[in-house]
Structures are given as structure tokens and as C-alpha cells.
A = this chain, B = another copy of it.
Amino acid sequence: MEYTDATSQEIDDVMQEAWIAFHLYRKLPLKQRAAFMRAIAKEMENLGDEILKIAAEETNLPEARLRNERTRTMFQLTSYADACERGDWLDVRIDTALPDRNPPRVDIRKMLVPLGPVVVFGASNFPFAYSTAGGDTACAFAAGCPVIVKAHPAHAKTSEIVASAIFKAAAACNMPTGIFAHVHGAGNEVGETLVKHPLVKAVGFTGSFIGGKQLFDWANQRKEPIPVFAEMSSINPVFLLPEKINKSATDVAKLYASSITLGVGQFCTNPGLIIGMESDELQTFISALGTEIKNTSPGTMLHPGIFKNYVERRANSLAQEDVETVAVAEGEALFNQAAPTIASASGQAFLNNPVLHLEVFGPYSIVIRCKNEAEMLEVVDKLEGQLTATLMATENDIRSHEELVEKVKNICGRFILNGVPTGVEVCLSMQHGGPFPATSDSRFTSVGADGIRRFARPLAYQNWPDELLPDELKNTNPLGMWRTVNDKLTKDKITS
């Protein structure tokens, strides 16, 4: 480790600067925030291929994947910049005065304003898209908040270089000095000091349950608790319904073999649990999935810590009573390489053993064989909150399993039909967040421009003259925004 942990004094200096920057940055027009975000995207591109090589060295991810991830990161920055400027996310509501009502109603106008400095903890598995200049940072900048990134120690150099791109963009756009800061911290102390600093007003995190829950607890133990959006843990259950499996067991198996092994299984949306009902066709599915997985190769994981966890948790899961190993990738696994693995267990075994409910981060999936629909319903009742849940089902299946469909819907943030949970589209309709422990607050998303709202709160202006209101709330609607005026959505000017 060539970087030293930030001291408490350094963190305090950084936070004081962020606080000053906050008061300047939040007054800037949306257009300027958006220009800054676009400049960051540009500087990310200007880093050229060099950054891909460095990131590949640090994370063991292939350059092609990293190139795509950088493109995605730039798209996040530019598309959230567009959304920021469009201003729909501000949720402008205006109720004009009713002087003749008894009692009279005064003029009230509401819009979202930024919370304050946001601390972002980068993810090990997305060195670009959910790290230094990733989704949380982009949303916080759009909301009007300065950002303090704690570099992920597993890709500290990549983080340092991406930070330099943000600093460059900030300088080019004449942003206040404290708009962005980048600190290192290999242990827990830096994280704790950051989350507990009184000038921090929100936290964004993507990573493990233990890490995210710790940040959540620290934030709630503060004298002034602050919101934490932690994306933590999900096993992304997939339900195989009978007619679908009867028709296409082998195709579904092929589809899932590739989803399970994509990126060496290191996605928060990796399907770790596949639930079907006992039948010959389910056996066909399991065999076909096993055959596919045997033919895959072990893949290099992000870092030895994640590898160690994979090895231990997989072994623990496979060692449970009534768990059978269906298939392990046949190629030889070197140190730090994960061998994709499929296991299987009965519905009863799953119901009786909470160990089987735990996420095994990596290319591991367990197929649960329920003896009937009633048992499948019991399995759903045992599941915790999930980022995603998937049904592999025909329309008949859906119509004839209504209770199952309703129960599954209630535990996830994204409900997929006949697809795979891996691959998270960056768009406004995306929900990347789900009931606890998938995330710490299911009411928000960390992907898509709606994520901006995590870092903003409504402020109502009561009885202000038009000329003293922010442009977003002025009668003439100079920014041409959608606003709800007297309960009606409109872009119209307000005429008195």
C-alpha cells in the first residue's frame, strides 16, 4: 500500500473546505452543475488507455470490461447531467395565493435543495461506475452537494487517477476548492471518522452487508443522524415455473450459466439462488446447468480478500447437510481464481437452514427443489429483501401462480420476467435498491437519475415576492421546467 490513511486532522480540514464549497455550489444554476459533470466525463475519457491498464492491474478485470465500464460511467455522468438540467427531479410544487379565501391562503412554492457534503465509499467490483466518479458521486453533484470519496483500498491508484480527472474538471469549471476531496483509508478508522464528522450530511456506499450496516449504524449513532444509502446484499432469487421449464429447461440453463459466471460472478445482481419445483424437467435443467458450468473456466477474482471469502463461503454452503454439489468448472483453479459452482438442495433443507440464505459472492448458485407450490411459497416467505427477483415463466404460469407472483413482488426492487438479473441498465426507470438488507432504504435507487433525490430535501418558500425566488420557482418559469401548479403538472407561466 503506497497511500497513507488520512488523519483525523486531514479529514476535518477536508470537511471544513467541503462545507464552504457547499454554500457556494448549491447556489449555482443547474446548468453549471451539469457542465461540471460533463467536464468530468470528458476528463475520464482524456485519461486514455493508461487508466484501463492500471485498473486492470489492480482489479484483475479484463481491459475490455473496464473500457465498457468507463463508457458507462461517462454515460452516467452525462445522462444524470441532462436530468439535472431538465429539473423534473426538483419536484417543484407551487400553490398560488388565494387572498379571497377565508382564511386567505398565502403563496407557497417548494423544490428540492441539497443536503450538504456527501461521503462516497467506492465499490471493489466497479472501479469506475460505482467508485470515485461513479453513480453516487454523479448524483450528489447533480443534487448540489460536494463529495468526499474514500478510495477503495483494492484500487487506490485507479481511484487517485480518477480523482485527478475530477480535480481537473473542477478547476476548468471554476468550481469552489472543496467541491471534491479524495482520501485514503485501509482500515475502518477513516470510514468511521468520515461518517461521524458533523459536517457530513449523507453517505453513499456499495459493498458488503457488514460494511454497509456498520456505516448505517455509525450514521444513526450520531447526535444528528444522517441518511445512508448502502447497497449491501442480495442473492437475487430466480423462480422457475413449471410450464416454462417444461418447454425450455435447456435454454434457461444456458442463459443462467452465462449470467452466473459473468464477471466471475462478482455482481450484486448475480443470481445466487434458483428455485424450482421437483419434476423431470427440473432435473433436466439442473443437469444442463451443471454441464454448462463444468465447461466454464475458473476466473480471476478482484482481490485475494474476495477470493478467500468465496472459497470459505462456498465450502460452508456445500458442507451443509442435504446440499449436493452439482458441478464445478473443470479447468484448474489457480490462486485467486474462482471455480464456478452449482449446488442443489431440497426446499425443506433450505427452509431449515439459514446458512443457505446467505450470499456467496462469486460464481456460485444453489438450485432449490421444492416439492410443490406450497413449499415454494414457504421459501419466498423466508427470503429477505432483494435487489432483484426473476420469474422464468409463461403467461399461463403467471396467471396460475398469482400468490407466488405477489409475494415475490413484495421482496424485491426490480422484478424481471424471462431474463437475467445481471446487467443493470442506466435509465430513469431503473430501480437499484430493495427492501433491507438489499439496501438500507428501499425508497431510493442508486442507479438512474432518480438517485439524485437521495441527496436532496424539499424546501418550501412561503410568501416570497417573485423577484426574490430562485429561477425554478419564478412565475415566468424561465428554465422551462415541468412544475405542479395548483395540483396540475404544467410548463406554463403563472399569470396572476
Instruction: Please report A residues at the B interface, Cβ cutoff 8 Å.
Output: 23, 27, 82-83, 86, 88, 91, 93-95, 103, 105-106, 108-110, 113, 115-116, 216-217, 220, 224-227, 384-385, 395, 398, 406-407, 409-410, 412-419, 423, 425, 427-431, 433, 435-437, 440-443, 445, 448, 450, 453-454, 456-465, 467-468, 482, 484, 487, 489
Q: Are B224 and A462 in contact (CB under 8 A)?
A: no
User: Cα distance A227–B489 when bound, in Å?
Assistant: 29
User: Cα distance A86–B445 when bound, in Å?
Assistant: 24
A-B contact pairs, 16 of them (CB 8 A): A23-B407, A93-B448, A105-B427, A108-B427, A108-B429, A108-B430, A110-B430, A115-B443, A412-B459, A413-B460, A415-B459, A415-B461, A417-B465, A435-B457, A443-B454, A482-B489
Cβ contacts under 8 Å, A226 to chain B: 436
Q: Are A443 and B462 in contact (CB under 8 A)?
A: no
Q: Are B457 and A425 in contact (CB under 8 A)?
A: no
Question: In the complex, what's the smallest C-beta–C-beta distance from A393 to chain B, in angstroms?
Answer: 10
Q: Are B442 and A457 in contact (CB under 8 A)?
A: yes
Please provide the 5 A-B residue pairs with the shortest distance between their CB atoms, ordered closest to farther.
A431-B460, A93-B429, A442-B457, A108-B429, A95-B429
Q: Nearest B residue to A94 by beta-carbon distance?
A: B429
Q: Nearest B residue to A418 by beta-carbon distance?
A: B463
User: Cα distance A429–B109 when bound, in Å?
Assistant: 6
Cβ contacts under 8 Å, A484 to chain B: 88, 428
Q: Are A436 and B468 in contact (CB under 8 A)?
A: no
User: Cα distance A416–B456 when bound, in Å?
Assistant: 20
Q: Are B436 and A225 in contact (CB under 8 A)?
A: yes
Q: A224-B384, A224-B435, A414-B460 are in contact. List 15 more A-B contacts (CB 8 A).
A: A23-B407, A23-B410, A91-B450, A93-B429, A225-B436, A225-B440, A227-B443, A395-B468, A413-B457, A414-B462, A415-B464, A417-B463, A418-B463, A429-B460, A433-B457
Q: Nearest B residue to A416 by beta-carbon distance?
A: B462
User: Cα distance A489–B468 when bound, in Å?
Assistant: 28
Q: Are B429 and A115 in contact (CB under 8 A)?
A: no
Question: In the complex, what's the smallest C-beta–C-beta distance from A442 to chain B, in angstroms?
Answer: 4
Q: Return the contact of A224 from the options B110, B436, B459 (Cβ within 8 A).
A: B436
Q: Return the contact of A216 from the options B225, B429, B457 (Cβ within 8 A).
A: B225
Cβ contacts under 8 Å, A423 to chain B: 103
Q: Are B88 and A489 in contact (CB under 8 A)?
A: yes
Known: A437-B224, A482-B489. A463 touches B416 (CB 8 A): yes
Known: A94-B429, A429-B108, A482-B489. A457 touches B443 (CB 8 A): yes
Q: Are B487 and A428 in contact (CB under 8 A)?
A: yes
Cβ contacts under 8 Å, A456 to chain B: 443
Q: Are B105 and A413 in contact (CB under 8 A)?
A: no
Q: Are B458 and A443 in contact (CB under 8 A)?
A: yes
Q: Are B462 and A417 in contact (CB under 8 A)?
A: yes
Q: Are A458 and B445 in contact (CB under 8 A)?
A: yes
Which residue, A413, A414, A433, A460, has most C-beta atoms of chain B within 10 A?
A: A460
Q: Nearest B residue to A456 by beta-carbon distance?
A: B443
User: Cα distance A225–B437 when bound, in Å?
Assistant: 9
Cβ contacts under 8 Å, A418 to chain B: 463
User: Cα distance A115–B467 when bound, in Å?
Assistant: 41
Q: Are A459 and B414 in contact (CB under 8 A)?
A: yes
Question: In the complex, what's the smallest C-beta–C-beta distance from A451 to chain B, in angstroms?
Answer: 11
Question: In the complex, what's the smallest C-beta–C-beta distance from A471 to chain B, in angstroms?
Answer: 15
Q: Are A463 and B419 in contact (CB under 8 A)?
A: yes
Question: In the complex, what's the smallest C-beta–C-beta distance from A417 to chain B, in angstroms?
Answer: 5
Cβ contacts under 8 Å, A115 to chain B: 442-443
Question: In the complex, what's the smallest C-beta–C-beta distance from A215 to chain B, in angstroms?
Answer: 13
Question: In the complex, what's the smallest C-beta–C-beta distance from A438 to chain B, in angstroms?
Answer: 11
Known: A457-B413, A484-B88. A425 touches B489 (CB 8 A): no
Question: In the complex, what's the smallest C-beta–C-beta distance from A433 to chain B, in angstroms?
Answer: 7
Which residue, A105, A416, A419, has most C-beta atoms of chain B within 10 A?
A: A416
Which residue, A82, A448, A454, has most C-beta atoms of chain B within 10 A?
A: A448
Question: In the complex, what's the smallest C-beta–C-beta distance from A248 to chain B, in angstroms?
Answer: 15
